[in-house]
Amino acid sequence: MGKVLAIQNTRNEGIATLGKLFEEDGFDITTVLAKKEKIPSIDPRVIVILGAPESANDDLPYLKEELALIQNAVKNDTRFLEYALGRSLSPRRLVPRYTKAAEKR
């Protein structure tokens, strides 16, 4: 069916049930622990970016890689799904002016 690239940003936030659903539909899943591993050069049909306690505004090398991955996904019309941290990363890459909120919620 195709490949799914799952970007795991913390050990305790895995693809879990969503991964099982992809596998049932015939997808092969490659999971990467972003803080420890490089994002592989594969051509996935879907990219899943999972949550973490970090902020999308943190200047961390692995987050920069994820931002580039999102930008390439949009450019190449690759589907991507984001949870928590991931949902904060795509606006930062796709919207010209992404700023912090005045106060924490």
Residue 101 vs residue 76, higher pLDDT: 76
User: What's the whole-number mean pLDDT along residues 29-58?
Assistant: 89
User: What's the whole-number mean pLDDT along residues 65-74?
Assistant: 88
| pTM of the predicted model as reported, rounded to 2 decimal places | 0.79
User: What's the whole-number mean pLDDT along residues 29-56?
Assistant: 90
Question: Residue 29 phi/psi, 5° resolution?
Answer: -110, 130
The whole-chain average pLDDT of the chain stands at 83
pLDDT at 98 over 80: no
Q: Residue 49 forms beta bridges with which residues?
A: 7, 82
For the chain, list the domains and their CATH numbers. Answer: 2-94 (3.40.50.880)
Give alpha helix (H) positions in 1-105: 16-24, 61-75, 85-94
In 3D, which of 67, 49, 52 has the Cα closest to residue 10?
52
